[in-house]
Amino acid sequence: MRQDWIPLNCGENGVKNKWKVNCLDRHVQTCPERVALIWERDEPGTEVKITYRQLLELTCRLGNLLKRQGVRRGDCVTIYMPPCPLAVASMLACARIGAAHNVVFAGFSSEALADRIRDAQSSTVITVNQGVRGGKVVDLKRTVDQAVQNCPSVQQVLVAMRTENTVAMTDRDVPLEEEMMKEDVVCEPVAMDSEDVLFLLYTSGSTGKPKGLVHTQAGYLLYTSLTHRYVFNYHDGDVFGCVADIGWITGHSYIVYGPLCNGGTTVLFESTPVYPNPGRYWEMVERLGINQFYGAPTAIRLLLKYGDEWVQNYNRSSLKTLGSVGEPINTEAWEWYHRVVGDGRCPVVDTWWQTETGGICIAPRPSDPEAEIVPGMAMRPFYGIKPALLDTEGEVLSSNDSTGALCISQAWPGMARTIHNHHQRFTETYFHPYPGFFFTGDGAHRSKEGYYQIVGRLDDVINVSGHRLGTAELEDVVNQCPGVAESAAIGYSHDIKGEGVYVFVVLKKAVMVEEDVLAQQLREMVSRSIAKYACPDFIQVVRCLPKTRSGKIMRRVLRKVVERNTDELGDLSTLDDPDSVHEVISGHRRLC
């Protein structure tokens, strides 16, 4: 593996510049040698530290390179990279020259990447030759090569070298380090309007293809920096360890923009929670002196199963706040996180928010570092957030101890402004279900004391290990299998992943296929079209799906069958073919 990957030529130029740019220049003027990024590489103990001065230099060189390659203000650059300093510099370089970035999670398949590049109309893609994760090398450049074959807009691919292995380069490919070293270390930042686009980020909805949510300059940065400071009780000099991937909104807001705007030291985690062993997170906490640790319940549930020793082997006295994000955290995981990881002395902040909200909206301690926290509850709205619960009739539930659709009743700085190219879809999805309110897609309970607890999605979005997956997106892939007539995908409760994927399949007439063969074929298709995490855990062939007389699949019924709640199937009088349910019940796989 390459040890010397960061091309730096630590000149003084960056320090002397006159610009007050929020995430870099400001800090370079006051504390140029403060560490901005700690790149926690896959192999423990090989971390690389990048100061604010170095990060500004990388960003300027990259900005100049992008300009030389023809990227202009208003263009959109797609970034397909794992967490690493050049990925952060690429995002900031786009911001510096007024281009939007579109980071695509480097676990997405070539087809998913191609969809996002096409929708964003990117002419430039930035990637690495290979990724390294959990001791394995991943051919990311090859995935990009496959994707861009179907993306006529792409004129160039900038390729950074994460490993020493050479990869085939075409005329379209630009060796990133080599070319950026030819550039000047000063790049004048472009002044943008507060409502200009900062980035697009694609996320799944309950219908159709993933949507490119648009976040803008000023409100987003203000919101991420404020929430980063208050929700995590962040102070100058703290080392902030968010172990998400930069390909998700959590990485954008709490690895890159929030911490850097606050002049913080932020960790970029390249590995997995169990590499080389289940003590990885806590060994890293000790070695890097992490003060705030921010992770996902799915990882906590996984590590809990390996026992307390993996945690107790390491000194975690640096920890001050523990954060949770992406899915509901069950009480057992919360208690373990608090008692074992935090030694009972670190508050656990369960933070609720979404790609759409830009930053944390509901969290235990936005204003008072001493306030009460109830395990497993997101608790209190952040400054300026006005949550509302609405019933099925669209009436606001004004009393406490009520459960309803979680909406937000007034705009806030970090909210997404539109869906790229589809403003109508934006208004229909978020503002039409409950007129006058932003609808989050989630359900929530407000306790007697007025605290919020998130119940889960109300729409057809599955949350697998904190990753959003639309059932329509999944069914679209499954239905492309030549033997499949139709399908229905649903989420079911999974003790590690939060939700697993169960797919019911109806075969075309006269198609005979072994279930194992079909399952293998469908898993490969899903992995190729979306990503590995989206692969169904269970596939069941049925003669027909339970539908209403108007032809709507009764997912509610399928969910009850999969949850083994067949006594609670509810009203079946609208079913077109009541026998279909009995058939589904008798063929249903025992979940393990």
- In the complex, the residues that contact ligand PRX under the rule CB under 6 A are 203, 248-250, 325-328, 350-355, 378, 440-442, 454, 457, 463, 468
At its nearest, how many Å lie between ligand PRX and the CB of residue 437? 15
Q: Which is nearer to ligand PRX, 90 or 463 (CB)?
A: 463
Q: Which is nearer to ligand PRX, 303 or 444 (CB)?
A: 444
At its nearest, how many Å lie between ligand PRX and the CB of residue 463? 6
Which strands sit side by side in the sheet containing 173-175, from one edge to the other? 173-175, 156-160, 124-128, 76-80, 100-103, 197-203, 211-216, 418-419
At its nearest, how many Å lie between ligand PRX and the CB of residue 397? 19
Q: Which is nearer to ligand PRX, 99 or 349 (CB)?
A: 349
Helix axes 110-120, 140-148, angle to 10 degrees: 50
E-only strand ranges, 3-110: 35-40, 48-51, 76-80, 100-103
Question: CA angle, corner 326, sides to 320 and 328, nearest 5?
Answer: 90
Q: Which is nearer to ligand PRX, 187 or 373 (CB)?
A: 373
Q: Which is nearer to ligand PRX, 80 or 430 (CB)?
A: 430
Cβ-contact 371, 365 below 8 angstroms: yes
At its nearest, how many Å lie between ligand PRX and the CB of residue 210? 11
18 residue type, one letter: K
3-state secondary structure (DSSP) of residue 66 = helix
Percent composition of the chain: helix, strand, coil (DSSP 3-state, to 5): 30, 25, 45
Which 8-state DSSP code applies to residue 553?
Answer: B
Q: Which is nearer to ligand PRX, 450 or 578 (CB)?
A: 450
At its nearest, how many Å lie between ligand PRX and the CB of residue 238? 21
Q: Which is nearer to ligand PRX, 22 or 463 (CB)?
A: 463
E-only strand ranges, 278-432: 292-295, 321-325, 348-351, 362-363, 380-381, 387-390, 402-408, 418-419
At its nearest, how many Å lie between ligand PRX and the CB of residue 45? 30
In 3D, which of 390, 382, 404 has the Cα closest to residue 436? Answer: 390
* Cα dist from 193 to 93, 136, 357, whole Å: 17, 43, 20
User: Nearest residue to ligand PRX, using CB?
Assistant: 355
At its nearest, how many Å lie between ligand PRX and the CB of residue 326? 5
Tokens representing residue 474 in the block:
């999944």
Q: Which is nearer to ligand PRX, 264 or 295 (CB)?
A: 295
Which 8-state DSSP code applies to residue 79?
Answer: E
Q: Which is nearer to ligand PRX, 174 or 461 (CB)?
A: 461
At its nearest, how many Å lie between ligand PRX and the CB of residue 109? 18
At its nearest, how many Å lie between ligand PRX and the CB of residue 83? 16
Structure-token match 């059932």, residue found: 471
Q: Which is nearer to ligand PRX, 310 or 353 (CB)?
A: 353
3-state secondary structure (DSSP) of residue 310 = helix
102 residue type, one letter: N
505: exposed, middle or buried (C-beta count within 10 Å: 0-12, 13-18, 19+)? buried
At its nearest, how many Å lie between ligand PRX and the CB of residue 371? 17
